Structure 1
Amino acid sequence: MPATMTQTEVTIFLADQRGCSQTDWFRSYHSFNFGSYQAENRAPFGALRVFNDETLAGEKSLKMTVDENSDVLLLPLTGALEYAIGPGETGLSAPGELLVLSAAKGTEFEITNPYSDELINFLQIWVRHNAPSVKTKRFTGSFEVEQKNQLYPLFSTHATAMIGKFEGRQEGMYTVQYPEKNGVFVFVIEGAFEVQNRLLHPRDGLSLAHISKMDFEALSNDALLLVLEIPL
């Protein structure tokens, strides 16, 4: 009997079609349904529940509460961010440093722009996990993308994240660690890429399910790509 073929499922999340929440001091673009933004074809991608591209004005703060056991990733892109987790635990995360908060349901945290008159921009990503018991903990790690044209590991817990800066016409490949149960979400931070024959511009995203390898090519210099392998 011939083997069953599984067709790759692909969804593109164009930057200009994202949801948006905005005040005079804060703006958040949502790749997935979040808060009052609810749209067709924008359901969470497996365990990837939140992928927000956020900008915060000087000396303003954002408070969040985790509604289920999750790894919360905070990735500063422009400027540093201050964070506070529960009572008394604070710190500063600069560009090039990833903050991972393994948070139990009900955990509260706060993000603050430490500058008086500069905007900060960061990614806020939530990955659900089914651990029966979670103790809130913090992990900060730095990544180096000065050596171009390869993916570097950001973290690996319930999901895996990689990041890389590429010169134009440089090709790459990501091999899925657990293709039978995981999918891949790709987000272009800067520049342009062709991923699995799909053209992606800055802040575009792409989800891929039922895939074992993902091919990509940078179409501009200093193009920056984020790759997440997520349980489905």
Structure 2
Amino acid sequence: MSNKIIDRASSRGHANHGWLNSHHTFSFARYYNPQRMGFGLLRVINDDEVAPGMGFGAHPHDNMEIISIPLAGALEHQDSTGTKEVIRTNDVQIMSAGRGLTHSEYNHSKTEKVKFLQIWVLPKEQNIEPRYAQKTFQPEDRQNKLQVVVSPDKNGEGVWINQDAWFSLGTLKEGFSEDYKIHKPGNGLYALVLEGNVEIDGEKLNRRDGIGLSETDMISIKASSDAELLLMEVPMN
């Protein structure tokens, strides 16, 4: 029997700063809930919406794997490694903060909102050389299947992460059914329903609901409607 936590969309932390409307699955900034401190080495899932032309000024990070997944619009990134890039829908970005860097993120558009997920995972190795990577993934490669977009394999299909973690995206038709097999013993899986209705390990989940499962090696997934799903497999300690 797996260990299970369910985080309903309505129970998330919420901060609306006008230019930024953000929902926090786990404790972040002014939102603190001792029952919501993360899932294993997964520390932050922020569901952000940024107004046109607005964004986060330069600020520091260290020893954190920071993943950004745009859901709509375009996000402009700049950091102290000299990187300046724009990520759009179907892109996935990872910044390994390592021994420390500063970065900024802005809505690339002056007319449209940008919506994106920002996810933080604690690193496997500390104080590495800061690095940046992004990759574009073809949406047809996740139609009714799970597309790996993040992995610890530097030569794999996903963007490389400094952790034994695997992220997958799926655009699923109603009735889709598949068992997800954990890649590494001891890892857990956190699933976030981006759109639609999904049943995971027998639990009915709706848009932006999350579920964390550990102490299991196989997890059942079924789409109760057309749905979009993000799976985040991470070490539990």
TM above 0.5, yes or no, is yes
CA 1:88–1:139 in 2, change beyond 3 Å: closer, same or farther?
closer
2:168 matched to which residue of 1?
Answer: 162
Does residue 1:83 correspond to 2:77, yes or no? yes
The answer to whether 1:199 aligns with 2:204 is: yes
Give how far 1:146 is off: 2.0
Instruction: Quote the residue 2:228 is aligned against.
Output: 224
Native 8 Å contact 1:68 1:128 kept in 2: no
The Cα of 1:117 is off from its aligned counterpart by 2.1
Q: Distance in 1 between matches of 2:232 and 2:79?
A: 24
8 Å CA contact retained: 1:66, 1:104: no
Cα distance in 2 for residues equivalent to 1:206 and 1:90: 34
The correspondence for 2:148, drawn from 128, 133, 153, is 153
> Does the C-alpha gap of structure 1 residues 65 and 44 become closer, same or farther in structure 2, counting only changes over 3 Å?
farther
| Identical amino acids, percent of aligned pairs | 29
- Mapped contact 1:173–1:215 kept (Cα < 8 A): yes
Change (3 A) 1:31 1:91: same
Among 2, 15, 20, the alignment partner of 1:21 is: 15
Q: Secondary structure at the match of 1:146?
A: helix
The letter of the residue matching 2:106 is T
Structure 2 gaps, min length 5: 153-162
Q: Say if 1:105 and 1:12 are closer, same or farther in 2 by CA, change over 3 A.
A: farther
Counterparts of 1:87 and 1:111 in 2: how far apart (Å)? Answer: 14
Equivalent-residue separation in structure 2 for 1:64 and 1:166 (angstroms): 37
User: Equivalent of 2:49, from 55, 59, 63?
Assistant: 55
- TM-superposed CA distance for 1:68, in Å, is 4.1
Compute the RMSD of aligned alpha carbons. Answer: 1.5
Whole-angstrom CA distance in 2 between matches of 1:111 and 1:85 = 9
In the other structure, the counterpart of 2:107 is: 113
**Contact persistence 1:97–1:143 (CA under 8 A):** yes
Identify the match of residue 184 of structure 2 among 156, 178, 186. 178
TM-score, with length taken from structure 1: 0.92
Q: Structure 2 CA distance, aligned partners of 1:65 and 1:130?
A: 23
| Matched length | 224
Deviation at 1:64, TM superposition (A): 6.4
The one-letter code matched in structure 2 to 1:204 is: D
Residues 102-111 or 154-163, more deviating: 102-111
Distance 2:21 2:134 in 1: 25
What per-residue deviation string (whole Å, max 9, x for no partner) do you get for residues 132-175 of structure 1? 33111111112223252110110112111111111001101210
Q: Which whole-Å CA distance do the structure 2 matches of 1:79 and 1:130 have between them?
A: 31
Q: 1:64 to 1:33 in 2, by over 3 A?
A: farther
Whether contact under 8 Å (2:72, 2:89) holds in the other structure is yes
Deviations 1:4-54 (A, max 9, x none): xxx421111111110012211101110001111111421111110111000
How much does 1:130 deviate?
3.7
TM-score normalised by L of structure 2: 0.90
